[in-house]
Amino acid sequence: MALLDIKNLHANVAGNKILKGINLTINPGEVHAIMGPNGSGKSTLANVLAGNEIYEKTQGKIQFDGADLDDLAAHERARAGLFLAFQYPVEIAGISNMYFLKAAVNAVREHRGEEQLDAMDFLDLIEDKKQVVKIRDDLLGRAVNSGFSGGEKKRNEIFQMAMLEPKLGILDETDSGLDIDALRIVSDGVNALRTPDRSFLVITHYQRLLDYIVPDFVHVMVSGEIVKSGGKELALELENDGYASWAGEEGV
Partner 1 sequence: MELQQLRETAAAHFKADGFPTTKDERWRFTDVSRVANTEFSTEWKASNLKFKPLGDYYLVFENGKLSSEKSKIDGLPAGVKVGSIMDHLDPRLGQLSDSQSAFVAANTAGFTDGAFIEIADGVSLDSPIHLIYLADLDGAAFHVRNFISAGKASHVTVIEEYIGQPNTSYWSNAVTELFCADHSNVDHYKIQLESATAFHFQTVEAQLGENVLFSNHSFTLGAALGRNDIRGKLLGEGSEAICNGLYLLKDKQHFDTHLFMDHAVPRCNSHELYKGILDEKARAVFCGRILVQQDAQQTDAVQSNRNLLLSRGVKIHSLPQLEIYADDVKCTHGATVGELDEEALYYLQTRGIDPKQGHAMLTYAFANEVLDEVKSSAVKEYVGRLVQDWLE
Question: By CB under 8 A, how many residues form the interface with partner 1?
Answer: 29
Site for partner 1 in 185-224 (CB under 8 A): none
Task: Give backbone dihedrals phi and psi of 152, rounded to 5 degrees, phi first.
Answer: -65, -35
Which residue of 93, 119, 120, 180 would you call a contact of partner 1, by CB under 8 A? 93
Q: Using CB under 8 A, which of the segments 18-26, 33-41, 50-58, 231-239 binds partner 1?
A: 50-58
**Interface segment toward partner 1; rule CB under 8 A; list 56-64, 77-85, 147-155, 192-200:** 77-85
103 binds partner 1 (CB under 8 A): yes
The angle at the Cα of 68, spanning 64 to 70, to the nearest 5 degrees, equals 115
The interface with partner 1 within residues 122-181 (CB under 8 A) comprises: 143, 160, 164
113 binds partner 1 (CB under 8 A): no
Residues comprising the chain, all counted: 252
Any bridge partners for residue 169, and if so which? 83, 200
Burial (CB count within 10 angstroms: exposed 0-12, middle 13-18, buried 19+), residue 62: buried
- From candidates 73, 236, 244, 252, binder to partner 1 by CB under 8 A: 73
Interface with partner 1 includes 89 (CB under 8 A)? yes
- Choose which of 13, 107, 117, 214 interacts with partner 1 (CB under 8 A): 107
Among residues 75, 134, 136, 184, the one that binds partner 1 under rule CB under 8 A: 75
CA distance 34 to 221: 7
CA distance 73 to 136: 32
Query: Cα 248 to chain center, whole Å?
Result: 29
If the CB atoms of residues 74 and 247 are measured against partner 1, the closer one turns out to be: 74
How much is the CA Rg of the chain, to the nearest whole Å? 18
DSSP letters of 141-191? Answer: HSEETTT--HHHHHHHHHHHHHHH--SEEEEESTTTT--HHHHHHHHHHHH
**Residue 88 CB, nearest distance to partner 1 (Å)?**
9
Residues whose CB is less than 8 angstroms from the CB of residue 63 and which lie 6 or more positions away in sequence, other chains included: 2, 4, 5, 7, 69
Nearest by Cα to 238 from 252, 250, 222? 222
In the complex, the smallest distance separating the C-beta of residue 118 from partner 1, rounded to whole angstroms, is 18
Among 58, 59, 66, 92, binds partner 1 (CB under 8 A): 92
Minimum distance, C-beta of residue 244 to partner 1, in the bound complex (Å)? 34
- Residue nearer to partner 1 on the CB measure, 103 or 236: 103
Binding residues for partner 1 (CB under 8 A): 50-53, 73-75, 77-79, 83-84, 86, 89-90, 92-95, 99-100, 103-104, 107-108, 111, 143, 160, 164
